[in-house]
Amino acid sequence: MISTQTHTLNLHGRLLNLSMPRVMGILNVTPDSFYAASRKQTEEAIIGRVSEIMLQGGDIVDIGAYSSRPGAADVSPEEEMERLARALSIIRHEYPQVIISVDTFRASVAARCVEQYGVDIINDISGGELDKEMFPTVARLQVPYILMHMQGTPQNMQDHPQYRDVVSEVLQYLGRKVDELHELGVNDIILDPGYGFGKTLEQNCELLRMQHSLLELNLPILVGVSRKSMIYRILGNTPEEALNGTTVLHTMSLLQGANILRVHDVREAVEACRIVKTITSQPHNIRV
């Protein structure tokens, strides 16, 4: 089911129209993200990655300084902010107009990133669960907020994820959180069902089959499945070999209403968006 809803995001007064699916390129400034090729720590590597995202047609750069892979080591707020500050200083100097999202669950880090570096979007894997100040902080900052579902924490989320009905529970959870955010005055909310975060392979597959259920919340949907284990466990390969499988899932998620794809491989995702949008926009009496 393709979404017929029209959404825009207010980025410090600039409007980002989501009538065409958008691609968010991943930039990890961590030493231990699950996909090694996404790790960029030197100034040259950071500039090169942002340039690559833009040249390949990406719309947003998502910067993460805290690895959320299962079993990853904890990182202090000070170290997370130090990593982000260095990367953001470089990017804002070289590419002042690029749209930047910061992947953090800490309110203090989110505030500094927005206030000191003009970050446009906050991407919180915990849905405000790991820092109760996140919702009030986002309300004060008035930036778009990516609300993701996760069962547990990055350290234990894959131990024993359990649901009676994963689709309805994720939908109900996101609905409750949206109500909380609206009460605080947060209007630009993006939903992320949280593929791979506290979910088994079977639960991820069921959630993707029924992703269109999220459309009833009338908010844009972000999907992050790029090179994740739900692909390489099915195929019996590795994250490095999971590009083709990623494109398949991107196509499925776009057909289920996704507005933003968070990806490692920008060019391939942009092409998937263009093909799906073109074919599904054609009148039924025209052959393509």
Start-to-end CA distance of the chain, whole Å, equals 19
Strand 145-148: give its sheet, edge to edge: 189-192, 145-148, 121-124, 99-103, 60-64, 22-28, 260-263, 222-223
Geometric angle at alpha carbon 32, from 240 and 81, rounded to 5°: 135
Chain center to CA of 215: 17
Nearest C-alpha neighbor of 50 from the set 12, 104, 115, 94: 94
Residues 6+ apart with CB under 8 A from 202: none
Token pair belonging to 69: 């892979």
Rounded to an integer, what distance in angstroms lies between the CA atom of residue 264 and that of residue 121? 18
| Catalytic residue IDs | 228, 262
Contact 20, 273 (CB under 8 A): yes
